[in-house]
Amino acid sequence: MIEPGLYNYWIVVILMMAGFFIVMSHGNLVKKIVGLNIFQTSVFILYISLSKVSDATAPILDEAYSEYSNPLPHVLILTAIVVGVATSALGLALIVRIREAYGTVEEDEVIAQDPDL
Amino acid sequence: MALAIVRLRHLFAVVMLSGIYSLLSAGIFVQLDAVDVAFTEAAVGAGITTILMLGTLALTTDIERPPVQRQWLPLVVVLATGAALIYGTLDLPLLGDPNAPANLHVAPRYIEESGQEVGVPNIVTSVLASYRGYDTLGEVTVIFTAGVGVLVLLGGTRRRRQGKDRT
């Protein structure tokens, strides 16, 4: 059973800030992508927790139940998860290319090799 | 878990932790009645993303260099943003509130009518494929574009390398 309260938002904020901190403070590009993924998942948890209705069940129609959780955020987040994977794949491919061009995946070493950036 | 990812510098362990984190969040989604989302998160988030990241690590390096710049500025920004967001949550509806604005707009119609209109018992499926079919078409376009981008980025290097071998 799920207690009512605001704690779901606080968990989301903590996760979101952890991801945000990784993206800002770390120069390693792979770790930046991991940070972005954490941020992304925290937004997913925010949406899904908004759609939860207490004493309701998963939105699959059945004679035995009359209360369902809100299906619309589920659909939106389903789309967002798949799009998120597509963008991470693109980011990781960019990292592989950067590694081939500069020989490093650290942000400041790339900038040091290329003064125009 | 997330804090361990912040601290760890061995990228292999970081990637593994992020996979476990995805799986845990899939568990949270089951708890919140979102079974379809949990399936997708477990398969795509914990599975495919981890494989892609491991592939990237195999092609690059798996040790992160220790940071050189000071980290107090990002920390201050993060704490300030977090405090502002927590303040913003105080007005939001409680978890599980059936009268939250998000649950009153179009969702009741989907729940009541989709059984007759689409005929699929899973409401998420009928919304995804029927009511919001254009959204899903756009999603497929995004995935296609990303796939083409990855192929262009990685395919070009292979050709260049073959050219180097020939000379």
pLDDT in tens, chain A (117 residues): 567 777 878 888 888 888 888 888 877 888 888 888 889 888 988 888 888 877 777 777 777 777 777 888 888 888 888 888 888 889 888 888 888 888 777 877 888 887 776
**Is the pLDDT confidence value at B166 over 60?**
no
Give the end-to-end CA distance of chain A in Å, rounded to a whole number: 53
Is residue A34 included in any domain, yes or no?
A: yes
C-alpha span between A103 and A109 (Å, rounded): 9
Which pLDDT belongs to residue A71?
A: 82
Residues 27-86 of A with CB under 8 A from B: 27-28, 30-31, 33-35, 37-38, 41, 44-45, 48-62, 67-75, 77-79, 81-86
pLDDT of B109 reads 76
Q: What's the CA gap between B36 and B44, in Å, rounded?
A: 12
Domain that holds residue A50: 7-113
Per-residue model confidence as pLDDT tens digits over A24-50: 887 788 888 888 888 988 898 888 888
**For residue B163, is pLDDT > 60?**
no
Mean pLDDT of chain A: 82
Decide if A2 is inside a domain: no
Domain with residue A25: its CATH number is: 1.10.287.3510
Query: What's the CA gap between B74 and A101, in Å, rounded?
Result: 29
Total domains present in chain A:
1
Residue keyed to tokens 């704690």: A7
Banded model confidence at residue B33, pLDDT cuts 50, 70, 90: confident
- A24 to chain B: closest CA residue: B74
State how far the alpha carbon of A63 is from the alpha carbons of A68, A71, B34, B75, B121, in Å: 12, 18, 19, 52, 11
- Residue A1 is assigned to a structural domain of this protein: no
pLDDT at site A107: 79
Mean pLDDT across the stretch B119-139?
81
